[in-house]
Amino acid sequence: MGRARAGTDLLYSNPLAGPEDVADWVAEGPVNLARHDGGLELSGQLDDVQLGDHAHWTFWCPVEFPDCIRISWEFLPLAEPGLAMVFFSAAGHGGRDIFSPRLAPRTGYYPQYHSGDIDALHVSYFRHKHAEERAFRTCNLRKSAGFELVAQAADPLPPTEDALDFYSMELVKDGPRVKFSINGLPVLDWTDPAEHVLGRGYFGFRQMAPLRAAYRNLVVENL
């Protein structure tokens, strides 16, 4: 669902109102789907203590997007600890589609994404998994493959008990420039100085268990 008509600025929209809205999305790892307050609740299915780093997951929108886009969605943390991030401009090495059978299988294990055979940018914006992340909260922007931390800023999102409503997230990918804001507050603004700038690719949500969080109103537009 969600493809827009050719010739419009809108590339994709999805209300994320329930599991039926993401029936064509691609889950890698143990993701569980439910409804929450008009949105889509995402969580892990299995015990993160038992599975460790294999309890986490990535959930891909099935549409490949061009460069020079604005991505917006709403986010509400429901239960911690955990971590939320998004991947964007994700593409396989050698120009391959990320769902190509010629790429290594992915199961939600993080090294498969940051040091495997895909390239991507990723913003982690709710880093409440480990004690040191909760003690000094930041948003991190990384470029992979290679897990390179390219930008970091303070994270304005509160602990779950203080989150009163959904937060408006906005990500702009414009050639070498990446901008990220929350409720209209600029958080990150980075320009890639490298010769190899990531462009078109896929977008996906990722969480670290046992975080529970809800999402609504995903929109992708041309700039």
| Ranges of each domain in the chain | 10-222
| In contact, 171 and 88? CB cutoff 8 Å | yes
CA 208 to chain centre: 11
Whether residue 7 has pLDDT greater than 70: no
Contacts of 218 (CB under 8 A, 6+ apart): 2, 12, 13, 14, 16, 61, 71, 72, 73
- Report the C-alpha gap between 161 and 193 in whole angstroms: 39
- Report the C-alpha gap between 183 and 74 in whole angstroms: 9
Whether residue 179 has pLDDT greater than 60: yes
Whether residue 1 has pLDDT greater than 60: no
What number does CATH give the domain 10-222?
A: 2.60.120.200
pLDDT > 70 in the chain, percent: 94
Confidence band for 215, pLDDT divided at 50, 70 and 90: very high
| In contact, 185 and 40? CB cutoff 8 Å | no
Q: How far is CA 14 from CA 17, 31, 175, 183, 185, in A?
A: 8, 19, 24, 19, 23
Question: Which tens digit of pLDDT belongs to each residue from 46-88?
Answer: 666 567 778 899 999 999 999 999 999 999 999 999 999 999 9
